[in-house]
Amino acid sequence: MDIDALRTTATALVAPGRGILAADESTGTIQKRFDSIGVDSTEEHRRAYRDMLFTTPDLGDHISGVILFDETIRQSSADGTPFPEVLEKAGMIPGIKVDTGAKPLALFPGETVTEGLDGLRGRLAGYAELGARFAKWRATIFIGDGLPTDQAIRANAHAMARYAALCQEATLVPIVEPEVLMDGAHTIDDCEIATARTLDALYTELADARVQLPGTLLKVNMVLSGKECPIQAGPDEVAEATIRCLTAHVPADVPGIVFLSGGQSDEDATIHLNAMNVRGAHPWELSFSYGRALQAPSLKAWAGAEANVETAQRALAHRARMNGLARSGAYTPELEGRAA
C-alpha cells in the first residue's frame, strides 16, 4: 500500500476553501433528476449535462474533486477530451462511485445492505487506469420502529471495510459513506444515536480490516431532525449535535469529513456547514461532498438547453463559492444575492 500517495490525495480533497462535487448519480437517479426538468435521460443528455458542470469556468477554485459514475468516467467533453482529463486540467481530482447499490437486507424488512464487492479488485484497477484517484461506497441506514438493527449496521460496516481495503491496495482513497437517512419523523436525538452506532461499527471494522485512516475520508450525514419531525432543530443545534457526535465517534487521524446534503435545501446545507466551521478548529477538516445541494440550481437553469449553459454554470459556480466560504465559517446568507 502506498500510504504516502493515499494521504496526499485525501489531504488534497479536503484542502481549505474547497470541497467535492458528487456527480455520480446512477442511471436511475439521474433519470429522476431529469424528470424534474422534463428532459429525457438519454446517454447524450447525461453527457451534455455533465459536460456543462465540469467545464464551468474556475470550478477548481472551490471544487477539489468530482465523483463520477461508471458511464461518466468513460465519456468525453464536446471537444473529445475524456472527462477525467478535463477535471485534472482544471485542478480537480476524478473519483468514482464503485458500489452497485443498496439492496434489501434478507430477513430484515425495511433495511438495506450495499452490494458491489464481487469483482471489485478488477474494477478498481480499471478505474485507476481511466484516471480515478479516489472512490466512494454508500450505505443507507434507516431510522424507524426498532431500526436501525445492529445486524444492518454491522453488515454495511463490514462490506465498507472490505471495499476500503481493496481501494487502498489499489492506491485509491476510499470515501466511506454511511448515510443515516433524513426520511421519517424521528428527532435529532434519534439521529445522533443512530449515527453514533453506525460510526462505532464502521471504525471497528476498518481497524479490523487494517485500513489506514490517514488515507481515507468519511462522508456522512449531518445530525438532523427527521424530515417529518414536528420539531425541526435549527442551525446551532445541528452544528452542536453533529460536532459532538463526530468528536466522540470519529478517530482524529481521519484527515477529513465531507458531508452529504441528503435532501437538505442547498442553502441549509451551506448554513449548517458554516455553523460547524465557525466553531472550529476540529481534529479533521469539515468539508462538503454535495450532490443535490451543489447541482439543484444549475440543473434547473440548464433545463436541457445548450443556450442555458452559461447561466447554469454561473449557478453551480455560485454554490461552489458559497460552500467554499462555509469551509472557514466565512459564509453569510447575505452573500446569496450577489453575482458569482
- Which parts of this chain interact with ligand 13P (CB under 6 A)? 22, 138, 177, 260-262, 290-293
Which of 65, 262 has the CB closer to ligand 13P?
262
Report the nearest approach of ligand 13P to the CB of residue 27 (Å).
15
**What string of DSSP letters covers 177-236?**
EEEE---SS--HHHHHHHHHHHHHHHHHHHHHTT--GGG-EEEE------TT-SS---HH
Report the nearest approach of ligand 13P to the CB of residue 199 (Å).
17
Report the nearest approach of ligand 13P to the CB of residue 19 (Å).
11
Which of 174, 291 has the CB closer to ligand 13P?
291
Contact 3, 76 (CB under 8 A): no
- Active-site amino acid positions: 177, 219
Which of 138, 318 has the CB closer to ligand 13P?
138
Which backbone phi and psi does 218 adopt, to 5 degrees? -100, 130
Report the nearest approach of ligand 13P to the CB of residue 70 (Å).
14
For the chain, list the strands marked E by DSSP. Answer: 19-22, 63-68, 93-97, 102-104, 112-114, 134-141, 173-180, 217-220, 256-259, 285-290
Which backbone phi and psi does 219 adopt, to 5 degrees? -110, 125
Which backbone phi and psi does 109 adopt, to 5 degrees? -55, 135
Which of 1, 46 has the CB closer to ligand 13P?
46
